[in-house]
Structure 1
Amino acid sequence: MNFLGKTAVAALAVAFASEAAATEWNVSVWGKRRAFTEHVEKLAELVSAKTNGEFTMNVSYGGLSKNRENLDGISIGAFEMAQFCAGYHRDKNRVVTVLELPFLGVSNLEEEVAVSKAVYAHPAAAEEMEQWNAKLLMTSPMPQYNLVGTGDPRDTLAEFEGMRVRATGGLGKAFEAVGGVPTSVTATEAYQAMESGVVDTVAFAQHAHLAFGTINQADWWTANLNPGTVNCPVVVNIDAYDMLSDAHREALDSSVDEALDHYLANYATLLEKWDSVLAEKNVAKVEIDEAVLAEFRAKAADPIRDAWIADMEGQGLPGQELYELVVKTLADHRASN
């Protein structure tokens, strides 16, 4: 073989080596880019930068799967990473639903990150996710949910009686405990449900009221109901994770906290603007009386928590231990700050 031939073979070998070193992941989320997906976008940016473009993520907003089917897609390897919300399929992710119990007392996003990390790290959570070939990577921390509604504000428990509310998971159970009629239509269906009168009210975090347009249907918003929130993990396919090179795995793992920090900073900016959004859209800000909140907590918090623990223990899961882990993590987080 002449020199040119050897050079061509060497160049081809380098090309093949470079191709083999490249990793491309598909990531399934839904809706549109918003505060709820900023950590996923930041993660993709960081990983690409740390690997000089050798590890890239294609974030797809609904093009790969329906939001209720993302965990199924992960289980069969249809894509490598996905976001989902526990309330969409409570039977598939029972452990993390502890984070959706009403009135847990989580007061900010930093605390939500802390309790989520603790629960995700529990062996029961990892074991349950393994059934879906999924590894919990990071949470999508959201503030306490609050209602938007049409017509006269509903600011007493008597007015919650018969109220058709879009609320999933533990939030749905909380409203049911005071006579509400919860429906678990997906986030992308909420605007239409409100517009058509299928629901009277929608429970969302602020970003979702903006992103999915429910704020545009609203006459009022409850500023301080704060019944709880939903938990929405980002997971990766275990096989895909295990196939990463050490360098690419390190790039992914080391970027999680930074991606979450970016998410928190971005969300803080959104919250600062929230009052001006309400004013711009002529949505009344409703403050619920403390006595009403206390009555709501009494009817919803303890009974639903006790029922959840009994249900989990009956299925062989450490329900009491998981609840106590959340309480302890909250206390420890506050003590360290």
Structure 2
Amino acid sequence: MKLKTLALGAILAGSVALPALAQDVTMRLAHLNPEDPLKSHSGAMASVFKSLVETASNGEIEVQLFPNGQLGKDNEVIDQVSAGIVESTISSAGGVAQHYPLVGVFDIPFAFPNIGVASRVIDKDSAFGQEFVADLEAETGLKVLGLLDSGGFFAFTNSERPIKTVEDMEGLRIRTMTLPTHEALVTSLGGKPTPLPWAEVYTALQTGVADGQMNPVPVIAFANFDEVQTYLSLTNHIITPYVWAMNQDFYDGLSDAHREIVDWASEVATDAGRSMSRIIEASDEGLAKLSESMEVNVVTPEEQAKFAAATQPAVRALIEEKYGEKGLQMLESIQSSVEAAKF
């Protein structure tokens, strides 16, 4: 599959030149993942956004990219965006949770029946997406440019044994993001949650600080976890969001023409990122790559039901305990959106 040629053609085809605008603007965009647009969804988003914005503005806007966590951890970069030190970041739920804990409402296990429904709900223009984005913006003061999944449904990897049943989770030290909902999920399965920042995960798996971790297949692939993990178990237990945020004052200070470019370019780039995750999953860079060096198993629907029975009450109880009525209302809203999004 000539992904590089296809991706480049898509980027160039979408870059429509507009008349020169009145002011020069520099925009710094940070994210945690590889710069190569064929390796990660945020890499694709950043590359497409840069191409579209710089071309459409005839060079009046320069987009500087800072991939691979160059500017710090997710939550640190969000702080920088809030302070106006950096203009924009594409952040994981773990980073967002430090500033907006209600991002945990996405973490009800097995809430989304398939990736099609998830894609329709985890979108800033969906009914739930509009409600979620409005509340996040009100609570943080950030401008949200995009909302999408973090790469697909989560799977477990570990170096001890295949995870085929709930009982197989017993005692496993599983790295999680610093999300209480993820910690509650692992605990409810009999595992031992080990919250760690992204930059420390590979070494923790390599040295045995953690037995395993959970992430979507594209993330497991580009992080090369197959080098330090033996088993990959496709549980599809949760799917979490990535949030693309911008400093609100910077956004408001753009000219009307520049703001229009940023709006449509970020929408197109978010769609590109969502699509790239699906392409990676299906290509030689995704599950096929991991299968060469890992033992892969698919958890059956019957066992998934047992995973759901063990985890859903614990995560729901945590959301109620930590976020009260607002959390339950948001949870009911996302569940209603899921039902409405089903064919």
The TM-score, its normalising length taken from structure 1, stands at 0.84
For 2:158, give the aligned amino acid.
Answer: G
Q: In the TM superposition, what whole-angstrom CA distance separates every residue of 1:177-198 from its partner, at most 9, and x where no partner exists? A: 1211112212222111100001
Q: What residue number does 2:206 align with?
A: 195
**Larger Cα Rg: Structure 1 or Structure 2?**
1
Q: What residue number does 1:90 align with?
A: 97
Q: What residue number does 1:297 align with?
A: 308
Counterpart check, 1:71 vs 2:78: yes
CA contact (8 A) 2:185 2:314 kept: no
CA contact (8 A) 1:145 1:229 kept: yes
CA contact (8 A) 1:96 1:120 kept: no
Change (3 A) 1:310 1:112: farther
CA contact (8 A) 1:188 1:212 kept: no
Counterpart check, 1:261 vs 2:242: no
Q: In the TM superposition, what whole-angstrom CA distance separates every residue of 1:55-100 from its partner, at most 9, and x where no partner exists? A: 1211102333332312211111111101222224635212322123
1:20 Cα deviation from its structure 2 partner? 6.2
Q: What residue number does 1:278 align with?
A: 290
CA contact (8 A) 1:100 1:231 kept: no
Q: What residue number does 1:60 align with?
A: 66
CA contact (8 A) 1:73 1:79 kept: yes
Separation (CA, whole Å) in 2 of partners of 1:171 and 1:112: 21
Stretches of structure 1 that go unaligned for 5 or more consecutive residues are: 1-17
Separation (CA, whole Å) in 2 of partners of 1:256 and 1:19: 19
Count of aligned pairs: 312
* Aligned-pair Cα RMSD in Å: 2.3
Q: What residue number does 1:36 align with?
A: 41
The TM-score, its normalising length taken from structure 2, stands at 0.83
CA contact (8 A) 1:171 1:228 kept: no
The SS at the match of 1:232 is strand
Sequence identity percentage? 20
Q: What residue number does 1:147 align with?
A: 156
Please, which of 319, 323, 327 is the counterpart of residue 331 of structure 2?
A: 323
Change (3 A) 1:47 1:208: same
Counterpart check, 1:332 vs 2:340: yes
Q: What residue number does 2:26 align with?
A: 24
For 2:28, give the aligned amino acid.
Answer: N
The SS at the match of 2:71 is coil
Stretches of structure 2 that go unaligned for 5 or more consecutive residues are: 1-19
Separation (CA, whole Å) in 2 of partners of 1:108 and 1:19: 40
For 1:152, give the aligned amino acid.
Answer: R
Separation (CA, whole Å) in 2 of partners of 1:235 and 1:109: 24
CA contact (8 A) 1:51 1:251 kept: yes
Please, which of 192, 199, 207 is the counterpart of residue 181 of structure 1?
A: 192
